[in-house]
Structure 1
Amino acid sequence: MTTAPETGGRWVMGIDSGGSKSIGVLLREDGYLGGIGFGGPANLYFTSEEDAQTAIRRVVTQAVEMARKRGLLPSPGQSAEPGGPAGGAAPLEVGALYFSSPGLRMEPAVEALRDLIRCGRIVLEDDAPAAFWGALAGGEGVVVLAGTGSFGYGRRGEKTAVKGGWGPLLGDEGSGYWIGVRALQAVIRSYEGRGPATALTKLLRETLPYRLETELRRIVYGPDFTRHRLAGLAMLVSEAAAGGDEVAAGILAAAGRELAQLAVAVATELGWERDDPFPFSLTGGVSNAGPWLTEAFFATVQESFPAARWRPPRYAPCVGAGLRALQLLGVEITPALLNELETSLAEGHPAFARMLQPGDGDRTNTGETREVQRRVAG
């Protein structure tokens, strides 16, 4: 954990940055959600410092603008105090800012915010605590995040454990990237007669696009085929599985089992026994890949821990980052605070409520997949 000095304020901001995107939430001290912002990835392992700073600035700017449009913050040129002097667009003052990112560094993050935010306290951690707080909203248990990459994180009393998070070359089993690689491999095996026919062949041709499988080498190893574009292919695997493709369904089931092994390893390190009823959850974009993945995940965890209790993720990791920011101010995360947060989600941000509260892992409609195809194709 990296930290930098203190002041005060009634707003906090939490920013979660994964392998494909960054999302930030602006929360009031009572838990009310004032604004949301979106940007590209800010993980310096996979993106440049300049692009990471641009992503952070975009996230903060969007969240602050949303809060201002809703009358929750003074507009540029308007004084924050009744009867006070008006002026230019001064930086927003927040009591705490929490960054959740495995590859970001404090210096470029602070530099990106210099004229946008004045912070009482800034903390930068990897993405595991925010995922945990988003999924379970505190307490004890095990959370596995499966997005572009993957990891497992758990907490029992004062003890924590993390498994995975090694990146695409060393790990990320069960992640969107892992699923995307296996989709490409399945198409190649089918093309060469080393594997069964699969609907993925047609879907990939429509998405990338290409005419002959021999072109895949040029596309995949080209400079524009980024890690998050490859991870985006996971939704095509969901579409193929929903259409009855056994190859795609098998890939997703294998991903679920890999992710479950992360949960089992975390629970084992934390000392839970087979009959302990601890909660476990799966969060991140891949948790929406479909029942083939989630059912395999659930069954594999319960083979080792049959008394463990499945709990759907309560919020996305970006909300977990916001809750961590509130904790930096000494705010207790109470049921009343979470109720205020959920009320603001429903009343103030209906378009984003589904995104901030992850679904049940069974969203596989063609329209959504076509949008993913458009983004993957660049």
Structure 2
Amino acid sequence: MQLNNTRNWFIGIDGGGTKTEAAICDSSGSVQGRAAGDGSNPLSRPWPEVEETLRALVGEVCRQAGADPGEVQGLFLGMAGADRPEVRTRVEEAFRPSWGERLHIDNDALAALYAGTWGAPGIVLIAGTGSIAYAVTADGQRHRAGGWGYLLGDEGSGFDLGRQAVISVLRAWDGRGEPTELSELVTGHFGIDRPDQLIARVYGTSNPRKMLAEASVLVESAARAGDAVAARLIKQAAASLLELAESCRARAGSDLPVVLAGGMLAADTLLRRCLLESARFEVRRPQAAPVAGCLAAAMMRAGLPMDEQVRAGLAVLQTDGVEEDAHGGELA
């Protein structure tokens, strides 16, 4: 849609390990373009490919809005791994020459938080493929708990839940664990005849983390069917996520609201229900997709208020149902 040149444009990019999303809006919060591309985590993908993805998405949303990049007042990149100096340096070197002070770079957890608080202080609890709790206080201090990746953490995440499901099936096969409906679901999901064939399927894939995370949906199915093992796994995952949130709240030193984010908590899952039943703090659900939080951050850094009109405009950017696994362990 072609617009006149009197508007101030803002671009937000939510970049994660498997998916990157961009959107453009004007100073009233009216969204005029949205596009998605490949993952843009510099820690898990070659930088030239990441840079190409980011530039292509900026160009695409500008094209949709009829905006010249020179008219964009703020470009906010919410990227996995942005806390690391080497990541920030690469982004700065690639985009600062042409964007100057209009460029803003921050952790993608901030985008998920702002999608639930519109820039106000709070904690975001993310459970996607990985898991993390990330706080921003009223005076701008940052605190985190978890997010150490699948080898060192990610408790309560999709990866963790899927891994525990496969372990339960193998324990049942060995006779060390109780029978579970997960056995049939897991063998069917992986296309094998017996659980002992799992070793070749899991260790033989190039991305076991993603493979096991995708199996997490089987736990939900089994638990809804009344399987006791699956129900325990969900309670265990919820307890781990609550521990992350409580730890982050203790570090932040204030009674901040907790925003739920990530594919494991975005939908009305048994995991989310279990977490909500046990939570002893204020819980908020995101009002929009994380890319809306990126736009909010871009506008706020330009000094614009997040008034009701702006929030309503950005809220049209709802999640598209794709698993939000860009967050969590990718932040380590």
Normalising TM by the smaller chain, what interval?
0.7 to 0.9
Q: Which residue of 1 is the match for residue 66 of structure 2? A: 73
Give the CA RMSD over aligned residues.
3.1
Corresponding position of 1:127: 108
Summarize the alignment of residues 14-93 of structure 1 with structure 2, pairs less than 5 Å apart: 14-57=12-55, 59-65=57-63, 68=64, 72-73=65-66, 93=71
Residue among 323, 326, 331 paired with 2:296: 323
More helix by share: 2
Q: In the alignment, what sits opposite 1:305? A: none
Q: In 2, are the aligned partners of 1:279 and 1:309 still within 8 Å (CA)?
A: yes
User: What's the offset of the Cα at 1:61?
Assistant: 4.9
Aligned-partner Cα distance in 1 for 2:110–2:147:
13
Greater than 6 Å deviation, 4+ residue runs: 110-114
Per-residue deviation, 1:283 = 1.0
- CA-CA distance at 1:50 after TM superposition: 4.0
Tell me which residue corresponds to 1:222.
204
Tell me which amino acid in the other structure corresponds to 1:176.
G
Q: TM-score, structure 1 length as denominator? A: 0.73
Alpha-carbon spacing, 1:112–1:212, altered in 2? closer, same or farther (3 Å): farther
SS of the equivalent of 1:95 reads strand
Give the Å deviation of 1:286.
Answer: 0.9
Q: 1:257: how far off?
A: 1.2
1:353 aligns with 2:318: yes
Q: Determine the C-alpha separation between the residues in 2 that align with 1:270 and 1:291.
A: 28
Residues 237/327 of structure 1: CA separation in 2 closer, same or farther (3 Å cut): same
Deviation at 1:210, TM superposition (A): 2.3
- Structure 2, unmatched stretches of 5+, are 1-5, 324-332
Structure 1 residues 104-113 or 160-169, which shifts more?
104-113
2:289, 2:319 within 8 Å by CA — same for their partners in 1?
no
Contact 2:35 2:60 in 1 (8 A): yes
Deviates more, 1:190-199 or 1:174-183: 190-199
- The residue aligned with 2:74 is 96
Given candidates 241, 244, 251, the residue that maps to 1:259 is 241
Matched with 1:284 is 262
Cα offset for 1:10?
A: 1.7
Indicate how the Cα distance of structure 1 residues 55 and 217 shifts in structure 2: closer, same or farther if over 3 A, else same: farther
**Residue-by-residue CA offset, 1:303-327 (whole Å, 9 max, x unaligned):** xxxxx32222222222111211112
Residue in structure 2 matched with residue 180 of structure 1 by the alignment? 162
Residues 170 and 196 (structure 1), Cα distance of their counterparts in 2 relative to 1, 3 Å cut: same
Equivalent of 1:204, from 145, 164, 186? 186
Contact 2:288/2:314 (CA < 8 Å) preserved in 1? no
Paired with 2:126 and 2:183, the residues of 1 have a C-alpha distance of 28
Amino acid at match of 1:201: S
When residues 314 and 118 of structure 1 are mapped into structure 2, their CA distance, relative to the original with a 3 A threshold, is same
Distance 1:141 1:328, change over 3 A: closer
Contact 1:264 1:301 (C-alpha < 8 Å) held by counterparts: no
Cα separation, 1, equivalents of 2:309 and 2:225: 43
* Cα offset, 1:142, TM superposition: 2.4
Whether the aligned pair in 1 keeps the contact of 2:7 and 2:26 (CA below 8 Å) is no
Q: Is the 8 A contact 1:14 1:321 kept in 2?
A: yes
Give the Cα–Cα distance (whole angstroms) in 1 for the partners of residues 210 and 53 of structure 2.
15
1:12 matched to which residue of 2? 10
Offset at residue 219 of structure 1 (A): 2.1
Q: Deviations over 1:35-81 (max 9, x none)?
A: 2222232223323324433543454455345xx2xxx316xxxxx7x
Aligned to 1:137: 118
The answer to which structure, 1 or 2, has the higher relative contact order (CA under 8 A, 6+ apart) is 2
Give me the whole-angstrom Cα distance separating, in 2, the residues matched to 1:288 and 1:243: 21
The answer to whether the 8 Å contact 2:185/2:218 transfers is yes
1 CA distance for matches of 2:184 and 2:48?
37
> Alpha-carbon deviation of 1:258?
0.8
